[in-house]
């Protein structure tokens, strides 16, 4: 890997970056989701993310919300007799506020302890999707808690959405996952970054909305891919770099085979070829690589896929999979 050229490339561009962290980084599958567990995970994330600000980058932070949405839906399924069930897009807003607050408070504390004035805020983010998106006819995205066959059959009587078997762990509600086409608050976010603020936004892919014929907006029962929203947001606010954090240091082709090869610096055209060849699974690395490619193609910037602990090294061009024009 030619780290010198990547470092020079990064220095030539602005220091505004979008960093996407997954929901599982804030709450793992093996945890119950107590406040103490979530705060321990948030504190660990904030410790690493603070290093980005210390490096002189201005950060817009996006995050997943899958495990948290699952807990909210589980809570309401148990209490539905006394507590009205809310639409899924309201749960998205609820989780954005909860996770955004925890990350904001923790990041502000870590930045202050590092001797930097905290200039961080959270914005609830609405994301527009098309009413005619083909995804609305194919609910395929599993959300919420896992149910046994008996529980699923009972819930199916009152749910307008189908349930699907998920990885041998039980049944989950399946909803639509349309493409993000516009972010309502992108101009506000860009304006705040021009004042020197770091922003937490786009949580869980954003609150999904459709635009009506009269120009008004309505919520819809859907889940938007967090990394695709992050790529769109990074493009709309003029970020120089999109960083997608995952569980591995670099992306691989021929993954988990004798021919496995880790990718360092890759051109957009080469990554497109790998993507067409089917190297990246739809349920794991596929959406991350797709989001990275979209950002690089539309913005001319660079995209990095790496793990949280290596993010500063990756920004320096020393590790990670770095996608360039």
d(CA 298, CA 235): 7
Please identify, in words, the CATH class of the domain defined by 3-126+179-324.
alpha beta
Highest mean predicted confidence (pLDDT) among 7-16, 190-199, 280-289: 190-199
Domain ranges of the chain: 3-126+179-324, 139-175
Q: What are the residues facing 306 on neighbouring strands?
A: 245
pLDDT interval class at 73 (50, 70, 90): confident
Query: Is residue 53 predicted with pLDDT exceeding 90?
Result: yes
The token pair that represents 86 in the structure block: 């809310």
Query: Is residue 244 predicted with pLDDT exceeding 70?
Result: yes
C-beta of residue 183 within 8 angstroms of C-beta of residue 206: yes
Instruction: Give the residue carrying structure tokens 């979209």.
Output: 294
**pLDDT higher for 169 or 280?**
280
What's this model's pTM, rounded to 2 decimal places? 0.89
Crossing angle for the helix pair 268-276 and 286-299, nearest 10 degrees?
Answer: 150
pLDDT digit string (tens) for 188-231? 999 999 999 999 999 999 999 999 999 999 999 899 999 999 99
d(CA 201, CA 185): 9
Q: Which residues contact 227 (CB under 8 A, 6 or more apart)?
A: 20, 244, 287, 288, 290, 291, 292
d(CA 185, CA 123): 8
pLDDT interval class at 29 (50, 70, 90): low
Largest Cα separation within the chain, whole Å, is: 62
End-to-end, the C-alpha distance of the chain in Å comes to 16
The token pair that represents 95 in the structure block: 């989780």
pLDDT interval class at 13 (50, 70, 90): low
d(CA 135, CA 152): 23
Rg over alpha carbons for the chain, rounded to the nearest Å, is 20
Active site residues: 23-24, 141, 226, 288
CB atoms within 10 A of CB 31: 15
d(CA 220, CA 59): 29
Counting residues of the chain whose pLDDT is more than 90, the rounded percentage is 67
DSSP 250-317: S-EESTTSTT-EE--EEEHHHHHHHHHTT-S-TTTTHHHHHHHHHHHHHHS-EEEEEEGGGHHHHHTT
Q: What SS3 class is residue 82? A: coil
């Amino acid at each position: 890997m030619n780290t010198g050229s990547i470092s020079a490339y990064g220095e030539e561009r602005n220091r505004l970056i979008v960093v996407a962290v997954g929901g599982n980084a804030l709450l793992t599958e093996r945890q119950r989701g107590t406040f103490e567990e979530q705060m321990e995970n948030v504190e660990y994330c904030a410790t690493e993310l603070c290093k980005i600000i210390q490096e002189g980058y201005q950060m817009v932070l996006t995050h997943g919300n899958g495990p948290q949405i699952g807990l909210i839906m589980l809570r309401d399924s148990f209490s539905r007799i006394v507590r009205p069930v809310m639409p899924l897009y309201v749960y998205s807003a609820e989780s954005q506020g909860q996770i955004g607050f925890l990350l904001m408070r923790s990041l502000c504390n870590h930045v202050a302890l590092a001797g930097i004035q905290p200039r961080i805020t959270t914005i609830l983010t609405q994301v527009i999707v098309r009413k005619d998106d083909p995804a609305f006819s194919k609910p395929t995205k599993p959300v919420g808690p896992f149910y046994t066959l008996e529980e699923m059959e009972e819930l199916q009587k009152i749910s307008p959405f189908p349930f699907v078997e998920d990885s041998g762990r039980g049944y989950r509600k399946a909803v639509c996952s349309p493409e993000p086409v516009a972010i309502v608050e992108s101009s506000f976010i860009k304006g705040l970054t021009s004042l020197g603020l770091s922003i937490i936004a786009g949580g869980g892919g954003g609150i999904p909305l459709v635009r009506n014929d009269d120009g008004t907006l309505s919520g819809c029962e859907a889940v938007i891919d967090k990394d695709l929203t992050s790529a769109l947001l990074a493009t709309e606010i003029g970020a120089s770099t999109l960083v997608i954090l995952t569980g591995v240091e670099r992306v691989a082709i021929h993954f988990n085979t004798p021919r496995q090869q880790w990718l360092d610096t890759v051109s957009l055209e080469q990554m497109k070829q790998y993507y067409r060849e089917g190297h990246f699974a739809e349920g794991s690395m596929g959406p991350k690589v797709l989001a990275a490619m979209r950002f690089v193609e539309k913005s001319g910037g660079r995209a990095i896929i790496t793990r949280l602990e290596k993010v500063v090294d990756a920004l320096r061009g020393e590790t990670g999979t770095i996608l360039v024009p």
